[in-house]
A and B are shown apart, each in its own frame.
Chain A
Amino acid sequence: MTESSGMPPEQEAVRRLLADARHDGPPPPEVVARLDDTLASLVAERASAGVGEPAAAHDDRSPGRVVDLGSRRRRIASMGLLAAASVVVAGVAIGQVLPRDGGDDSSSSSAGSASDSSLAEPPEAGGAGADSSTEEGGDSGTASEPAPESLKSSPSTPFAGVPALSTVDADLDDQVLALRADGSSRREQLASLDALGRCDLPRAARTAELVAAELDGQPGLVVFRRPVGELQRVELYVCGQADPVRTITLPAP
């Protein structure tokens, strides 16, 4: 001991009591096993981070590990924000893309137009398709040209990976039917802003389900209207055109 001299007797007695209460012996086996497991995890973690990489290189991140976790949390939070922003943008884009069909849902479309008009400037449904892209002076007649908005976003292959349909195909109905059955995954594709951004269509009813598709070699959308009775109307739009290039009636799902 280092402090044995000049200590008050009471303190010296306490010091002896403390020395007598010292613990000797190894940790309990369960603690040893726990430490061994933790150490093995640390070694494996380090090995996975970089086999043979000196720990000195880890030093910056070792105190560090906490910092890594924090940055990971921040990344996750950023991804969450990005995902939320994507949902918002997708909602805006869908509002732009939905073909305006005054026939079906006049009430809902009026509400929709009131709210969406401030977000985008879709061509008037009443106007001809040729007028739909007058804001950019684009040639709407050549629907193979990407819509003006899409020129700002992403480059080529806007509808890569989406189903290809031909309006003159004899079994188009069956293909669309299959598309409807596969609607959920297609809707995920629809969420791709890369595809939506290139499809400039008038507003449509909000009750429709949309599936991105390639129509006769052009980017387009398949719009599944809300079933009425035992029937469901399906409209096939080519991006940039106000009117559907084909309308199909399917049995309601």
Chain B
Amino acid sequence: MSSGPTGDERSDKVLLQAHVDGDTDAFGVLFARHRDRLWAVALRTMGNPEDAADGLQDGMIAAFRRAGSFRGDAAVTTWLHRVVVNACLDRLRAAKIRRLEPMPDDVEDRGTVVATAVHDDQPEAVAEDAERRRRVLDALATLPAEQRAALVLVDMEGYPVAEVAEMLGCAEGTVKSRCSRGRTRLAALLADLHHPAGDPPHGNPPPEGPVQPTGRPRGPPAP
């Protein structure tokens, strides 16, 4: 892992070992390096910023205290994700959170703003993007926690299935089946949003996908 915002050039493993050896700053550097992505995972797994902050904090505390248990078999970032995801899942299980109601407004967080910044000149498109994301997140929140975590890590964060299996502490086949079941349920909930044979308005369209005509003019991507 390259250096983070702190400019510390030490690798993740070196930092973690330094923390184990008593370096008081090492863990802070390490965690800050991965904090944004861990936050993203916690936010999407928990479904709202408040619970995500709790889960991320739990995970950070656990990682700080259990650093000595890291055996080095996996990447440090995988281990960190595992600790944080487990902390989030523990919270979800404990609270039996099932958010069937609409997500709170603050779920439209900074990531949303960043993602839609290219449409600043098109308020209508921005509103559409926001609405679609809200629908997706609402639907995601209805899934069982394990399915949700798998989808967040595989489909949202783009981690390989094998790595996610390590993060979740289960077999790769389990990750795949969780993702498959989760997508199937989401497909039913979001039938009006996805266009299996067409071009989704956003995301990563397949290169061979035909362009879907829309009723509203679409400008060129912002430079």
List residues of A whose CB falls within 8 A of some B CB.
1-3, 8-28, 31-32, 34-35, 38-39, 42-43, 46-47, 52-56, 58-59, 62-65
Contact = CB atoms under 8 A, between A and B. Distances in A.
Q: Which of A9, A16, A53 has the most CB of B within 10 A?
A: A16
Q: Which label, helix, strand, loop or mixed, suits the secondary structure of the B interface?
A: helix
B89 interface: no
Interface in B84-124: 109-112, 114-115
Nearest to A36: B28
Given A13-B196, A28-B49, A42 B187 contact: no
Contacts of A54: 20-22
Contact of B203 (A20, A27, A31, A32): A20
Given A13-B187, A19-B203, 8 more contacts: A10-B194, A11-B184, A15-B155, A19-B158, A31-B39, A55-B67, A56-B21, A62-B64
B65 A65 contact: yes
Given A1-B155, A56-B68, A58-B68, A34 B53 contact: yes
B21 to A, nearest CB: 5
B66 A35 contact: no
A88 B9 CA distance: 64
B56 interface: yes
Contacts of B155: 1, 14-15, 18-19
Contacts of A43: 24, 27-28
Interface of B: 19-22, 24, 27-28, 31, 35-36, 39-40, 43-44, 49, 52-53, 56-57, 60-61, 64-69, 109-112, 114-115, 132-133, 136-137, 140, 151-152, 154-161, 176, 179-180, 183-184, 186-187, 190, 193-197, 200, 202-206
Nearest to A12: B196
Contacts of B193: 17
Contacts of B205: 16
A39 B187 contact: no
Nearest to B188: A10
Contacts of B22: 52-55
A9 B203 contact: no
Which A-B residue pairs are the 5 nearest by beta carbons? Answer: A59-B68, A13-B194, A62-B65, A9-B196, A16-B203
Contacts of B24: 43, 46-47
A47 B36 CA distance: 27
B183 A11 contact: yes
A32 B56 CA distance: 10
A96 B145 CA distance: 65
Contacts of B206: 12
B142 to A, nearest CB: 13
A54 to B, nearest CB: 5
Given A10-B184, A55-B20, A58-B68, A25 B111 contact: yes
A13 B195 contact: yes
A22 B194 contact: no
A1 B53 CA distance: 27
A9 B136 contact: no
Contacts of A27: 35-36, 39, 53, 56
Contacts of A8: 196
A98 B196 CA distance: 92
B35 A26 contact: yes
A45 B24 CA distance: 11
Nearest to A38: B57
A55 to B, nearest CB: 4
27 contacts: A2-B158, A10-B183, A10-B184, A13-B187, A14-B155, A14-B190, A15-B183, A16-B204, A17-B190, A17-B200, A18-B140, A19-B156, A20-B200, A21-B133, A21-B136, A22-B44, A23-B43, A25-B114, A27-B56, A31-B39, A31-B53, A34-B53, A35-B56, A38-B60, A59-B67, A63-B65, A64-B66
Contacts of B109: 23, 25, 28
Contacts of B202: 16, 20
A16 to B, nearest CB: 4
B39 A26 contact: yes
A31 B184 contact: no
